[in-house]
Chains A and B, each alone.
Chain A
Amino acid sequence: QKEVEQNSGPLSVPEGAIASLNCTYSDRGSQSFFWYRQYSGKSPELIMFIYSNGDKEDGRFTAQLNKASQYVSLLIRDSQPSDSATYLCAVNKGLNDYKLSFGAGTTVTVRA
């Protein structure tokens, strides 16, 4: 079982719509969860992080965490063509486990 799994995509949404991205993780003890955006040929750019169950909103982005289901999601509201990128889910187990474990990413294309 992969540590972090994401919908493979690609996900195509019309401009102005909501893009919904999903991620599951295997280690129940994982403590912090991150969403990164990666444009082609560029480095991961942090867009959201969440530590507690529930929702966290930042502008057009909402992260949702359900530790019981080992599930984290990202909603992008009012999607713009500039949101077209690959979105990476990353998980940190904590407890002296320092690394981020990344999913393979979901590619999102926003159609104008």
Chain B
Amino acid sequence: EPEVTQTPSHQVTQMGQEVILRCVPISNHLYFYWYRQILGQKVEFLVSFYNNEISEKSEIFDDQFSVERPDGSNFTLKIRSTKLEDSAMYFCASSGGILNEQFFGPGTRLTVL
């Protein structure tokens, strides 16, 4: 069964450093998403991506964040200068259509020291 994959599973970084989180969505899906979940809190939407451009972003997704689909399979989230409050689980998701179910990857736990 096809699934979303994410790497790394855990990333530890120093405050102010850049991190890139990687995702491989399900191959025939067209819509890609990043969410985050701070420990003990609800899942929050960051950004959606369709047709090689951002289709929607939340207020969390400020200038420090960017997304890219560098090739036909990978979908990346970059945080330019990490802050302590960026520590969270980051989930990538993909779907086949705008109203379709979204399938989540296993997540990357980001720890900013």
Contact = CB atoms under 8 A, between A and B. Distances in A.
Nearest to A45: B104
Contacts of B55: 96, 98
B13 to A, nearest CB: 20
Chain B contact patch, size range: 20 to 34
Interface-centre pick from B35, B55, B102, B105 (highest chain A CB count, 10 A) = B102
A51 to B, nearest CB: 7
A88 B98 CA distance: 19
Contact of B105 (A43, A97, A104): A43
A98 B56 contact: yes
Contact of B91 (A31, A44, A101, A105): A44
Given A92-B99, A99-B58, A42 B106 contact: yes
27 contacts: A42-B106, A43-B91, A43-B105, A43-B107, A45-B104, A46-B101, A51-B99, A90-B43, A92-B98, A96-B56, A96-B98, A97-B56, A98-B48, A98-B50, A98-B55, A98-B56, A98-B98, A99-B45, A99-B58, A100-B33, A100-B35, A100-B43, A100-B45, A101-B45, A102-B43, A103-B42, A104-B42
